[in-house]
Amino acid sequence: SQQGEEDPQALSIQEGENATMNCSYKTSINNLQWYRQNSGRGLVHLILIRSNEREKHSGRLRVTLDTSKKSSSLLITASRAADTASYFCATVRAYNNNDMRFGAGTRLTVKP
């Protein structure tokens, strides 16, 4: 069963704007990850945040995690047309590091 649920399902913005995607999950986690998928391709790992972390940065990416609300957000700043892709959150369950579950994804379109 899916663990994470992304919101919104689709997002369309202009180049230069910020994009925010949210993820909610249900069980206790060891960590949460975000992946990107370009159309018709495999997924690429973007960033991982552990359950004892609240915020993490990587280049133009900022991830937050609120374990009390069981939610995470991914912020992409100063978006570019090349950021157009689907973004998935994935949760690794506490006590079972092999159990990683993906959400349905957010489709981001960045218009030039």
Partner 1 sequence: DVKVTQSSRYLVKRTGEKVFLECVQDMDHENMFWYRQDPGLGLRLIYFSYDVKMKEKGDIPEGYSVSREKKERFSLILESASTNQTSMYLCASSQPGTGRYEQYFGPGTRLTVT
Residues that bind partner 1 (CB under 8 A): 1-2, 30-31, 33, 35, 40-45, 48, 88, 90, 92, 97-98, 100-105
| DSSP result, 25-73 | --S-EEEEEEEEE-TTS-EEEEEEEETT-SEEEETTEEEEEETTTTEEE
Name the residue nearer to partner 1 (CB basis): 44 or 81.
44
Distance in Å, CB of 102 to partner 1, minimum? 4
Name the residue nearer to partner 1 (CB basis): 18 or 50.
50
Question: Which two three-digit tokens encode residue 24?
Answer: 């909610």
